Amino acid sequence: MVYWLMANPDAGERGSGGADFWREHLEAAGISGIRDCSLDDTAWTSEIDARDVVLAAGGDGSVNAAAGFCVESGATLAVLPSGTANDFARNLGLPEDPRQICDLVSAGRTHRVDVAVARQGMFLNVAHIGLGTLPVRKSSGETKRFLGRFSYGVALLQKLADYRGFRGIIETDKGKVAGRWLTIAVSSGAFFGGGNEIPQASAADGQLDVIAVRPRSLLQLLLTFLTVRLSCNSPERTSTVVHLKSTAVKIITGSPKTVTMDGDIAGNTPLSVHCRPACLKVICQELVTTEH
């Protein structure tokens, strides 16, 4: 068994959590056979065995890349949260203490989770169309390091007043919903956008969650957000928010729109996504399932 340590030294709010940091904690937890690797040179991926563990130290983008290698090889993914949002780590209920995380890696308990697959790529957390893509497109590295996950909200607020939305059709297992949208998010787990919780969701429920928001005044959007956040109830269909569940989703827009996946630009619409259930093995104690 080999532990492949893939660390992003620039990830996180202070640029911490690199290979040396995690290696120290991993070795203290009794883990040996650690080999360093990176996304700059992926020749190492041809050596991955199904018995191996890929240790992804970074944000959701780095975890996404590591998960792709694991799905292809059958290896196990271990997440060492070092990014800005760390939403996939929330799905796994990982502790904040690096020592406790490394103890979990050493114990080796695993669960299986879903991934979402599209023409543009694979994602673990969320694909965005519309306003939700702006934090990725507009937030600078300096802003993300200074404000952390709150940089996403800053980027959205800066553009909200000028954004009029786009026309689109959302197709699911149960039918179609058409209209003008401010943003559409397709999620494979229970969290996105730096900790925003999706009601009644899990990374292993075999479902995709679609959260679509219509253009409304800033006050109405804030009230809707607070209502959902405080009640933890699925909004289903309201005048502002639509929440749909489906094993497959297709989104067609009037003109091509940017698609982001797990914090990176992936391409343009149309977007066709299907859930690939229980295909990724991850290390964690228990998976998180949101209530209500």
pLDDT of residue 15: 43
DSSP state for residue 84 in the 8-state scheme: S
Q: Which is nearest to 104 in space by CA: 146, 35, 55?
A: 55
**What is the per-residue pLDDT across 170-219, written as a single tens digit (0 to 9) for each?**
999 999 999 999 999 999 999 987 778 888 899 999 999 999 988 877 76
pLDDT > 70 in the chain, percent? 79
Task: Answer yes or no: is pLDDT of 229 > 70.
Answer: no
Which region among 52-61, 114-123, 160-169 has the lowest average model confidence (pLDDT)? 160-169
Q: Which residues pair with 271 in a beta bridge?
A: 251
Mean local confidence (pLDDT), 73-83: 94
| Token representation of residue 160 | 């909200």
**What is the per-residue pLDDT across 43-76, written as a single tens digit (0 to 9) for each?**
999 999 999 999 999 888 899 999 999 999 999 9
pLDDT of residue 162: 52
pLDDT of residue 239: 74
pLDDT of residue 85: 76
> In this structure, what are the phi and psi dihedrals at residue 70, rounded to the nearest 5 degrees?
-70, -40
Whole-angstrom distance, CA of residue 45 vs CA of residue 38: 10
Please state the separation of Cα 6 from the chain's center in Å.
18
CB neighbour burial string for 241-273, b if at least 16 within 10 angstroms, e if fewer:
bbbbbbeebbbebeeebbbbbbbeebeebbbeb
Q: Which domains does the chain have, with CATH numbers?
A: 3-108 (3.40.50.10330), 121-277 (2.60.200.40)
**What is the per-residue pLDDT across 267-281, written as a single tens digit (0 to 9) for each?**
999 999 999 999 999
DSSP state for residue 38 in the 8-state scheme: -
pLDDT of residue 192: 85
pLDDT of residue 146: 36
Whole-angstrom distance, CA of residue 290 vs CA of residue 201: 5
pLDDT of residue 167: 96
Residue 56: count of CB within 10 angstroms of its CB: 30
DSSP state for residue 152 in the 8-state scheme: H
pLDDT band at 149 (very low <50, low <70, confident <90, very high): very low
> In this structure, what are the phi and psi dihedrals at residue 41, rounded to the nearest 5 degrees?
-135, 105
pLDDT of residue 240: 84
Whole-angstrom distance, CA of residue 125 vs CA of residue 133: 14
DSSP state for residue 206 in the 8-state scheme: S
pLDDT of residue 56: 96
DSSP state for residue 237 in the 8-state scheme: B
Tell the burial category of 195 from Cβ atoms under 10 Å away from its Cβ (0-12, 13-18, 19+): exposed
Task: Answer yes or no: is pLDDT of 22 > 80.
Answer: yes
Tell the burial category of 138 from Cβ atoms under 10 Å away from its Cβ (0-12, 13-18, 19+): middle
Mean local confidence (pLDDT), 66-92: 93
